[in-house]
C-alpha cells in the first residue's frame, strides 16, 4: 500500500514505464525499435529503471503507477523483470504503485504467474494488445482476467495507435487492429467486476472509447501518450461532462514527461472543479488509496 501523503501530492500519474532492468544490457529487439524510433521521431525516449522512475517522481512530488510490458511472444524480446518493479515499489512506497505484466500467450503458466505476482504485491496488470499480438476478447485469455478480477485489481489496456514499430518496414510487424477499444468492451461486459483502464486517447477510435466508458461503469480512460494540446474536442467535452469522474492523468513517461503534460493540460478549457478529479482524485478512488 502506498505511504504517500495524498493531500500534498501534485498529481498521480497512472501510466509510467520502467524500460530496462538495472545492470542489464537492453534486449537487441528493443535496441532495434529504439533506433527506428530515433530515426522516425527525431529522438528515442530515455530508458529508466524502476528505481529511476521512483527518484524522478519523488522530485516532482507525484505518485506513479509503474510497469513494464511482457511481450515475448508478439515481439520476440525477453521480458523485463516484474520482480524488479515490485521490489522498487516496496523500497519506494511513497512514490510507486506497481502493476505487473504477463504475456497472455503464456496460457496456464501466465495464470499461475499472475497469481504469484498478486501475492507479491502487484496492484494491477498492463496489457499491450499491439505488441503482445492478441485480441483482448479472445476467450482463451479469460482465465487471466478472472484472476485479476477475483483479486479486485485493475487491468490496463493499451488502446489506439502506437509508436512502437513506426517507420520500420511493415511497422515492425506490429498490427494496430488489436487495440481497437471495442474489443475491450467485450471484456468489460463479461467481467463487470473487473476494473479496466483504456490507456491513451484512442486514435483512430476515440468515439468508441468514450462510448464504452459512458456505457460500462467499470471502464476508465487514462489520457497518456499524447500532449493535451492535441486532444480532440470531443475528448475535452466528455472530460468536462459525462466522464469527469472517469478520466485519469497519465503521461506515458518516459515517452512524454509529466512536466510537459501538466503544462499543456493547463492550456485546455477544463472546468476548475474537474481538474483535481483528473489529476488526482479519480485515481485515488480507483486505486483504493483511501
137 lies in some domain? yes
Whether 48 is in a domain gets the answer yes
CATH number at residue 107: 3.20.20.140
The answer to the question of residue 5 being in a domain is no
For the chain, what is the mean pLDDT? Answer: 94
Residue 29: pLDDT band (50, 70, 90) is confident
**In a domain? residue 1:** no
Residue 189 lies in a domain: yes
Q: Lowest mean pLDDT of 68-82, 167-181, 256-270, name the range.
A: 68-82
Average pLDDT on 178-201 reads 98
Residue 88 lies in a domain: yes
Looking at the whole model, is its pTM more than 0.85?
yes
Whose CA is closest to 184, among 165, 164, 211? 211
Taking residues 208-227, report their average pLDDT.
97
Whether 3 maps to a domain, the answer reads no
- Asked if residue 4 is part of any domain, the answer here is no
Among 157, 142, 54, residue whose Cα is nearest residue 101: 157
Domain total in the chain: 1
Q: How confident is the model at residue 45 (pLDDT cuts 50, 70, 90)?
A: confident
Contact 26, 44 (CB under 8 A): no
| Residue 271, pLDDT score | 98
Range of the domain at 84: 11-287
Amino acid at each position: 500500500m502506498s505511504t504517500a501523503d495524498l493531500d500534498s501530492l501534485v498529481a498521480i500519474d497512472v501510466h509510467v514505464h520502467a524500460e530496462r532492468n538495472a545492470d542489464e544490457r537492453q534486449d537487441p529487439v528493443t535496441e532495434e525499435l529504439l533506433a527506428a524510433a530515433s530515426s522516425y521521431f527525431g529522438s528515442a525516449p530515455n530508458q529508466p529503471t524502476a528505481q529511476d522512475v521512483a527518484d524522478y517522481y519523488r522530485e516532482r512530488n507525484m505518485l506513479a503507477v509503474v510497469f513494464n510490458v511482457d511481450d515475448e511472444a508478439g515481439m520476440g524480446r525477453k521480458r523485463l523483470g516484474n520482480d524488479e518493479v515490485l521490489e522498487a515499489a516496496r523500497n519506494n512506497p511513497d512514490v510507486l504503485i506497481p502493476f505487473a505484466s504477463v504475456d497472455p500467450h503464456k496460457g496456464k503458466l501466465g495464470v499461475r504467474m499472475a497469481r504469484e505476482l498478486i501475492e507479491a504485491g502487484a496492484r494491477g496488470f498492463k496489457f499491450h494488445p499491439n505488441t503482445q499480438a492478441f485480441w483482448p476478447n479472445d476467450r482463451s485469455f479469460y482465465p487471466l482476467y478472472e484472476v485479476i478480477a477475483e483479486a479486485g485489481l485493475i487491468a490496463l489496456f493499451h488502446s489506439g495507435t502506437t509508436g512502437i514499430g513506426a517507420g520500420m518496414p511493415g511497422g515492425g510487424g506490429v498490427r494496430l487492429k488489436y487495440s481497437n477499444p471495442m474489443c475491450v468492451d467485450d471484456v468489460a461486459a463479461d467481467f463487470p467486476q473487473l476494473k479496466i483502464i483504456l490507456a491513451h486517447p484512442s486514435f483512430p477510435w476515440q468515439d468508441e472509447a468514450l462510448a464504452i466508458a459512458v456505457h460500462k461503469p467499470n471502464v476508465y480512460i487514462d489520457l497518456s501518450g499524447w500532449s493535451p494540446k492535441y486532444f480532440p474536442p470531443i475528448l475535452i467535452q466528455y472530460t468536462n461532462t459525462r466522464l469527469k469522474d472517469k478520466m485519469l492523468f497519465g503521461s506515458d513517461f518516459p515517452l512524454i514527461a509529466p512536466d510537459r503534460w501538466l503544462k499543456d493540460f493547463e492550456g485546455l478549457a477544463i472546468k476548475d472543479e474537474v481538474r483535481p478529479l483528473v489529476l488526482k482524485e479519480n485515481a485515488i478512488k480507483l486505486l483504493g488509496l483511501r
